[in-house]
């Protein structure tokens, strides 16, 4: 895995050494960020089901102001920390002198979303397990975190039909790449 573009372009990230974690491929991340384009710069980003942290680190590389990583697995949290170290962000959490900030929350996404209610994110990227119904559960948990003008993206298995919406969020677009799909939501 590597960072595709931006400040950390070409930097290699560490991959998991255990089964059960499915990192977002370089190609799919490139597709995602090509679609999001300039909306990443200066944004407060939520990377839920963060796994390796590659999506959030890619956002930081492309100019996001702050990324909140949410991950339940303690091994993955340590992996995110190591990958942040690899790009030189270390454990610095709040923004310092114009540099991007980050936070890591070790919790399941539904629990973290309850704690984050009231937080303002311009971009929410959810990568739940590829199980049937997981995208809908993730979308439902994220609704309270999506403010006006925010974009929400759910990565899911291409074989599963994405939810049409939830509580006013509507599916705007789905892009498929191999076995994976990205579904874009907004109000």
Structural domains in the chain plus CATH codes? 28-186 (3.40.50.150)
Three-state SS sequence of 50-99: CCCCHHHHHHHHCCCCEEEEEECCHHHHHHHHHHHHHCCCCCCCCCCCCC
Backbone angles phi, psi at 17, to 5 degrees: -105, 10
Structure tokens at 100: 């991007």
| Degrees to nearest 5, angle at CA 57 with 149 and 19 | 110
pTM over 0.85: yes
Cα 113 from Cα 2, distance rounded (Å)? 28
Q: pLDDT value at position 118?
A: 87
- Position 94 pLDDT exceeds 60: no
> pLDDT, tens digit, for every residue of 132-176?
999 999 999 999 999 889 999 999 999 999 999 899 899 999 999
- Position 97 pLDDT exceeds 70: no
Residue 111 is inside which H or E element, if any?
helix 109-116
Structure tokens at 169: 């969020």
Structure tokens at 29: 């991340």
| Degrees to nearest 5, angle at CA 47 with 163 and 72 | 95
Structure tokens at 126: 């959810």
Q: pLDDT value at position 25?
A: 84
The mean predicted confidence, pLDDT, of the chain is 91
Q: Tell me which of 21 and 139 has the higher pLDDT.
A: 139
Q: pLDDT value at position 83?
A: 96
Strand 146-157 and strand 180-186: the pairing is antiparallel
The least confident of 6-15, 53-62, 79-88, 98-107 is 98-107
Q: Considering the chain, what percentage of its residues have pLDDT values greater than 90? A: 77
- DSSP secondary structure of 124-172: EEE---SSTTHHHHHHHHHGGGEEEEEEEEEEEETTSPPPSEETTEEEE
In three-state secondary structure terms, 19 is: coil
Cα 58 from Cα 139, distance rounded (Å)? 22
């Amino acid at each position: 895995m590597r960072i595709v573009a931006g400040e950390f372009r070409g930097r290699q990230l560490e991959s998991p050494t255990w089964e059960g974690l499915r990192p977002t491929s370089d190609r799919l991340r490139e597709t995602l960020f090509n679609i999001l384009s300039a909306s990443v710069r200066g944004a407060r980003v939520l990377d839920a089901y963060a796994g390796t942290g590659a999506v959030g680190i890619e956002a930081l590389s492309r100019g996001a102001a702050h990324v909140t990583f949410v991950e339940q697995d303690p091994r993955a949290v340590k992996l995110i920390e190591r990958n942040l170290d690899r790009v030189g962000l270390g454990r610095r959490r709040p923004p310092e002198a114009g540099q991007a900030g980050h936070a890591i929350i070790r919790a399941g996404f539904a629990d973290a979303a309850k704690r984050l209610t009231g937080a303002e994110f311009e971009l929410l990227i959810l990568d739940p397990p590829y199980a049937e119904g997981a995208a809908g559960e993730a979308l439902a948990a994220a609704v309270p975190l999506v403010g006006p003008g925010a974009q929400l993206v759910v990565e899911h298995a291409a074989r599963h039909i994405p939810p049409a919406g939830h509580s006013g969020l509507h599916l705007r677009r789905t892009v498929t790449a191999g076995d994976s799909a990205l579904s874009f939501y907004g109000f």
